A and B are shown apart, each in its own frame.
Chain A
Amino acid sequence: MRMKTLLAGSVLMGLAASFVAPAIAEDSVYIQLPTYRTGPYAGSGIHIANGMSDYLAMINARDGGVNGVKIDFDECETGYDTQKGVECYEQAKAKNTLVFNPWSTGITLQVIPKSSVDKIPVLSMAYGLSAAADGNTFPWVFNPPDTYWDGLSAIIKYIGEQEGGMEGLKGKKIGYIFLDAGYGREPIPLLDNLAQKYGFEVLQYPVAGKEMQNQSSQWLSIRRDRPDYVVMWGWGAMNPTAIKEAVKNRFDMSKFIGVWWAGGDEDARAGGAGAKGYKSVSFNNVGADYPALQDIKKLVVDAGNSHTPADTIGENLYNRGVVNALYMVEAIRTAQEMTGKKVINAEDMRLGLENLKIDEARLEAIGLKGMIAPIEITCSNHSGHHPLFIQEWDGEKWTSATDWFSPLTEEVTPILMQASKDYATSNAPWPTRDDACPAN
């Protein structure tokens, strides 16, 4: 009797089988974009999703794809939920996606072990597992342009500069308010390391995922502890809430610095006039004056092929979505050049990502000169520890507060290598690279 359910189940499954058969047209490559336009993280996720799909649509409309190969893409709604993320991954695998962009640290952690088995590269742009920058251990995972640890070290370096040099950090109190999940906890080992080295004190203020929109107790503690600076690792609804609370508690906004994911325009706007001076580290400039973004506006948004409200083009998170799509397109181009094939597969895509090099000249040709720093990914270094800058909210938009500067790579590299070794041992037998990286 119980098993009759299974019969019903099998019939339904049979229906499912007929749906998932992919149809591959001539001369196109498929990329699935896992996105979240619903749920508590949608406030950040929508802009990212818009940026990614608009750029790919623009490449298809303007250039007819990459060297004539159309990019066939669709979105898979994850809602930032790991269960749905795994489902999207299975769907992407069934449809032979070139690359998987999880857009969630939790989903990234889940797909990292699978990626080397299924031979699908994972592009986790500036999120996910910091240790994955070690290309020798993680041949299928990429986290350019910087890891979380680079981001944190850049923030500490910036704070040091404000205090007149790294020795000025001695005796300071730095508060760390973070989303209490894999994402927010990732930087803590490095933070403790740096605290020891430079003699500052770290005060931790975890924010539970379901309490994101109620941070009064954390901010009361911050008010009591009076840290000299507060560093934030937030995402989704956590960011505007934290900024509102900081304004309410009259925390000096110029001493409140977020990671790049805590730098959405809507996040800062939530704080009203009081949010002026809030800072976040970033790897892409804002603004819609870049030729490529104008092309998006003309060919995609004004043509009515997008959900994007025209005034959000050029906002921080939108541009970041564009950067993610840019990496994918350039990696496809690189892979085409390297393999001589027009229609590449996921393994070629990995090769393309591993040899990705976008220099100033290339950025100019793309029409995004000045938006990002030139990047280079190598076989052994899948992140690159590229220069970053600090941006400041002027009450209406983000402006650059500093020039591009390098993170504290020499601090990050040793613990990064250690972490990647630990990961491989604790997940033994961890697959080794089939093609060794050239020594450099």
Chain B
Amino acid sequence: MFYREAGQYKTTYAADQQIFPIRQDRIGIGVILVLALLLPLVASEFMLSAIAIPFLILALATIGLNILTGYAGQLSLGTGAFMGVGAYSCYKLVTIFPEVNVIVHILLSGVFAAAAGVVFGLPSLRIKGLYLAVTTLAAQFFLEWCFIRISWLYNYNASGAIEVPGREFFGTLVTGPAAGGISRYYVVLAIVVVMTLLIKNLIRGRIGRQWMMIRDMDIAAELMGVRPLVAKLSAFAVSSYVCGVAGAMFVFFYLGAAEPAVFSITLSFQVLFMAIIGGLGSLVGSFFGAAFIWILPILMRVGLPALGVDIAAETVFQVAQMVIGALIIFFLIVEPHGLARLWAIGKEKLRVWPFPYA
């Protein structure tokens, strides 16, 4: 009843092909964008720095993985390493060319991650499925080894960690320890929103359709004129680019300094779970998944003691882990296609409400 497109006539091709053809969706997006812009007015520093910023960055990383795994059907366990390539190349760029704007560096660092992704994506032309997952696992271990062993990558620091220097963007400090949560939040929000929009259009277009054809049946796709080499490697390149940018942002706008251990297999799995819980092959699902895996545990850890439940810190931690685990199983039983599918079903129901079916 509320969510019904009846009466919304499309009179031009442009109107018919827009990203959100339904008016209610457009209004919803507008409201959410305004809320996101106004968030710093009400949010505490903790909410911005420890919840909102990493949530947005991890959602972007999940989108990166979703391109490869959800849209192009190539399973990858190397997300953490590709994020690391982005972070380390951004660090090198910032220290070699300190006068260039840091945002340019962040966007450029994805190019290095894309190159690494293409190299490790080459085996995908011969192997599929779990076998490919194993080669991306090799990428994960090899790249992590590089971050530990090649001291040039971290400028021969005695600590072996990369530290983020303070950099300005139009006169406001956006990176480094002195940068406030609000300025970092707006930069992250802007990058994530713009990149999501670009990816959305990429996926709706010719390239995205090629990826999905490869995913659904590669032989049929090849017979119809899709070149697997181009389609698969472009998926690896775009996916790694997005992951690389997310990795650079993760260090520059959230962590502030990073050891190689940050980009371990744990991060790869974290992002993979976000993609699976949110729903493979869905952009909105990437945001759902990131929220579920990142925000929920923090809310439980912060929330339970604040509600007056007096339990020890490690018990909260373990209870949160168990509840998250149980919820993952629950959601995957109820809806194997992730939270995005639940959302879609919800919208269908809203459309015909108050009737059970149209």
Contact = CB atoms under 8 A, between A and B. Distances in A.
Contacts of A440: none
A38 B178 contact: no
A354 B245 CA distance: 41
A34 to B, nearest CB: 9
B261 interface: yes
A361 B154 CA distance: 46
Interface string A25-39: 000000000011110
A2 B313 contact: no
A426 B157 contact: yes
Given A4-B343, A15-B299, A74-B305, A106 B33 contact: no
A77 B29 CA distance: 37
B195 to A, nearest CB: 12
Nearest to A426: B155
A90 to B, nearest CB: 4
A4 B28 contact: yes
Contacts of B284: 1-2, 4-5
B291 interface: yes
B45 interface: yes
A16 B256 contact: no
A170 B25 CA distance: 77
Interface stretch (B46-54, B104-112, B209-217, B222-230): B46-54
Contact of B313 (A17, A76, A86, A189): A76
A305 to B, nearest CB: 12
Contact of B43 (A7, A17, A180, A427): A17
A3 B160 contact: no
B306 A106 contact: no
Given A77-B313, A83-B255, A1 B29 contact: yes
A19 B302 contact: yes
A3 B28 contact: yes
Given A17-B43, A38-B314, A109 B161 contact: yes
Interface stretch (A110-118, A279-287, A317-325): A110-118
A1 B159 contact: no
A185 interface: yes
B129 interface: no
Contact of B262 (A9, A82, A117): A82
B178 A117 contact: yes
B42 to A, nearest CB: 7
Interface string A406-437: 00000000000001001100111101000000
Contacts of A216: none
B194 interface: no
A86 B302 contact: no
B299 A91 contact: no
Contact of B314 (A35, A87, A130): A35
Main secondary structure of the interface of A (DSSP, over half): helix
B330 interface: no
Contact of B29 (A2, A131, A431): A2
A292 interface: no
A76 B45 CA distance: 18
Contacts of A129: 159
A266 to B, nearest CB: 18
Interface string B294-322: 01101101110111000011101110000
B92 to A, nearest CB: 12
Contacts of B55: 9
Given A1-B28, A20-B306, A106 B161 contact: yes
A64 interface: no
A181 interface: yes
Interface string B137-169: 000000000001000000101111101111000
A93 interface: yes
A37 B303 contact: no
Contacts of B239: none
Contact of B160 (A4, A18, A182): A182
B32 interface: yes
Nearest to B50: A90
Contact of A2 (B163, B196, B301): B196
B51 A75 contact: no
B177 A116 contact: yes
B176 to A, nearest CB: 7
A15 B303 contact: yes
A329 B96 CA distance: 45
A10 interface: yes
A343 to B, nearest CB: 22
Nearest to B287: A5
Contacts of A395: none
B246 interface: no
B32 A20 contact: no
Contacts of B159: 105, 109, 129, 182, 185-186
Contacts of A209: 261, 264
Given A10-B39, A13-B51, A113-B257, 4 more contacts: A2-B283, A114-B256, A182-B160, A419-B158
23 contacts: A1-B25, A2-B196, A4-B29, A4-B343, A6-B36, A10-B36, A13-B51, A13-B295, A17-B43, A20-B44, A20-B302, A75-B312, A83-B54, A83-B255, A91-B46, A93-B46, A109-B159, A114-B177, A129-B159, A182-B159, A185-B159, A186-B159, A210-B264
Shortest Cβ-Cβ A-B pairs, 9 listed: A3-B32, A5-B287, A75-B313, A37-B314, A19-B306, A113-B177, A77-B317, A90-B50, A94-B46
Interface of B: 20, 25, 28-29, 31-33, 35-36, 39, 42-47, 49-52, 54-55, 59, 95, 148, 155, 157-161, 163-166, 176-178, 196, 200, 254-262, 264-266, 283-284, 287-288, 291, 295-296, 298-299, 301-303, 305-307, 312-314, 316-318, 343
